[in-house]
Each structure stands twice: as C-alpha cells, then as structure tokens.
Amino acid sequence: MITVEIRALCVFGRHGVHEEERERGQDFVFDVELGVGGRGTSDRLEDAVDYVDVARAVQEVSDARQYALLEALASAVADELERRFSPERVRVRVRKPEVRPAGLEGAVGVTVTRP
C-alpha cells in the first residue's frame, strides 16, 4: 500500500477551550497519513492523491470553524480527508506546540486513526 504523508504541516488556528486561545490564535502542527492503495503507481498526478490537495483540505477544515478540543479538530480533518480522497486508511495527528502540559517541557496532541 502507498501512504501519502505530510509531516509538521503548520496551520494557524483559533482553537482551544480557553477564550484567550481562540482570540489570540496559535499554530497547530498536523501529521497526516493516507493509505491510498496503489494510486500513483501510473506516474500520473491525476491518478494519485496530491499532497497539495491534502494540505489544503487540512487548512480549510481548520479555517472553517473554531474547535474547543483537539480531538474534535483531528476528527473533523479525518472526516474531510475520508470524504475527499476515499483512502483505505487515514491517520491525523494534531499538536499544540505552544502549550506546556502542567508547565513542563513537552507538547500536547491527539491522534485519530481510521480504520
């Protein structure tokens, strides 16, 4: 199976539980994997899943509305990727690099995998 991957896609968004997060906005970092079977082996872009279109889809979902939880944002992105590209498998990880859990070094994030 071919997997189309995008790593560390940085998208500015206004998501979060706290009003300040939504007002100020922050960067969200996405890692996306789409299992696309054999699409693309023909060496023709029209037969493949174009990673440019995948990146745009992620940004469009993020821009469309505000999400309180990363789980909801990641799920919405996964839903849209499934709708647009009909992959055999999809994995979306989204992280908030500016958040320090309990004031400690580290990063927070969630991952949605289907199926």
Pick the closest to residue 15 from 37, 32, 30, 3 (CA basis). 30
Alpha-carbon distance of 18 to 73, in angstroms, equals 15
Q: Which helix (H) or strand (E) holds 9?
A: strand 3-13
Catalytic residues: 96
